[in-house]
Amino acid sequence: APFLRILGIETSCDETAAAVVERDAEGRSNVLSDVVLSQLDEHSAYGGVVPEIAARAHVEALDELIDEALKRANVSLSDVDAIAATSGPGLIGGLLVGLMTGKAIAKAAGKPLYAVNHLEGHALTARLTDGLSFPYLMLLVSGGHTQLILVRGIGDYERWGTTIDDALGEAFDKTAKLLGLPYPGGPAVEQMAQDGNADRFNFPRPLVGEARLDFSFSGLKTAVRQAATEIAPLTDQDVADICASFQKAISRTMKDRIGRGLKRFKAEFPDLPEKPALVVAGGVAANQEIRSTLQALCDKNGFRFIAPPLHLCTDNAVMIAWAGLERMANGIAPDDLDVQPRSRW
């Protein structure tokens, strides 16, 4: 079958990534290469991503990474049909590096350029991994985003809920920091929580019971700080109990918020030919307790729960190439070379 092939570039946060992906006429994908360089070591000493360090690291790594992606795919630039680069939202320094590199390659090689929205990349990944058809619900929970999105079609998204303060991953990271746990905080908190008593602290469950589908996590973080200050100095058991109680508060919150989302989806699309689906993306999707909460919620509401493999849930360039492919395959025109990066989008 005739197919399209795209080189994807992702530099919106602290991962430098390049990938080559194909899509055939039936919509099936073939990932030829998937290269990701994490800057974790460069940021961990600061307990978070430092934008200036991130931008410089992208500059240093990107051209070699693109070469590597082409080499692993066993293709040259003349063999790709287009370039797709993330143009937002994200850290402006990194976006500039990736988008300008994408433009330069597109211009030099005479290929069209697709400037891709990072969130669209996350949103369409489940079509690459699971061949999912529209519409479906997507929950993006990462260090920078917490969004519940209705995915109606390519370029057709409706945001049903977002955080009004911290992102969920950010809440994990900040909680870890104030408990003296390493960055990134999510895995550290989850590990500590295993030996903790989740009922010791009754942390708040923000917005639970409210009809709107938004999220809020900063009050939870404040409650953790208060509890930690009251019982300081903290023993390992105290830290474990706080982590377990924090995770429980989050699971209960997600259950309420997402549960409402599923009901709204069923009310809007009562007659879908297939079982409806909830897709999860972002680094927090690695959390086992949150995963099993969402799985149980989907089982109860008659939804399929789709969690793509973790390396495609976290930031990568495969999803950017794929979003470009979906647009190209659907006859959507490429972007002009004067397209600008957008830190907010």
Q: Is 208 helix (H, G, I), strand (E, B) or coil?
A: coil
Residue 286 contacts by C-beta under 8 Å, 6 or more apart in sequence? Answer: 186, 187, 310, 313, 314
Q: How many residues bind Zn ion (CB under 5 A)?
A: 2
Q: Is 185 in the site for ligand KG4 (CB under 6 A)?
A: yes
Q: Any contact of residue 88 with ligand KG4 (CB under 6 A)?
A: no
Which range touches ligand KG4 (CB under 6 A), out of 25-33, 184-192, 199-207, 320-328?
184-192
Angstrom distance (rounded) from CA 17 to CA 317: 5
Q: Which amino acid is present at 35?
A: V
Distance CA 65, CA 36 (A): 8
Tokens 């297939």 -> residue: 274
Selected binder of ligand KG4 within 10, 34, 120, 190 (CB under 6 A):
190
Q: How far apart are CA 2 and CA 18, in angstroms?
A: 23
- Residue 51 as a binder of ligand KG4 (CB under 6 A): the answer is no
Beta carbon nearer to ligand KG4, 150 or 281: 281
Q: Does 175 bind ligand KG4 (CB under 6 A)?
A: no
Examine residue 143 and tell whether it contacts ligand KG4 (CB under 6 A).
yes
Tokens of 142: 């990462």
Chain residues 261-290 in contact with ligand KG4, contact rule CB under 6 A: 282-284, 286-287
Residue selected from 11, 101, 142, 147 as contacting ligand KG4 according to rule CB under 6 A: 142
Q: Is 44 annotated as a binding residue?
A: no
Q: Pick from 8, 94, 169, 334 the residue near ligand KG4 by CB under 6 A.
A: 169
* Residue 326 annotated in ligand binding: no
Binding to Zn ion by residue 315, rule CB under 5 A? yes
Residue 61 CB, nearest approach to ligand KG4 (Å): 16
- The residue behind tokens 């055939």 is 24
Long-range contacts of 205-209 (CB under 8 A, 24+ apart): 205/249, 205/252, 205/253, 205/256, 206/253, 207/253, 207/256, 207/257, 208/252, 208/253, 208/256, 208/257, 209/256
Q: How far is the CA of 97 from the CAs of 12, 59, 94, 201, 299, in angstroms? A: 9, 6, 5, 45, 43
- Is 308 a binder of ligand KG4 (CB under 6 A)? no
Size of the site for ligand KG4 (CB under 6 A): 21
Rounded CA separation 130/328 (Å):
20
CB-wise, 142 or 216, nearer to Zn ion?
142
- The option from ligand KG4, Zn ion, none interacting with 241 (CB < 5 to 8 A, set by class) reads none
Distance between CA atoms of residues 314 and 285, nearest Å: 9
User: Quick check: 13 binds ligand KG4 (CB under 6 A)?
Assistant: yes
Measured from the CB atom, is 6 or 281 closer to Zn ion? 281
Q: 15, 310 in Cβ contact below 8 A?
A: no
Q: Write each residue from 226 to 265 as x if it is in contact with ligand KG4 (CB under 6 A), else as -, in one continuous string.
A: ----------------------------------------
Interface with ligand KG4 (CB under 6 A): 13-14, 142-144, 169-170, 172-173, 184-187, 190, 282-284, 286-287, 314-315
Q: Which residues are annotated as a binding site?
A: 118, 122, 140-144, 173, 186, 190, 287, 315
Q: Which residues are annotated as a binding site for substrate?
A: 140-144, 173, 186, 190, 287
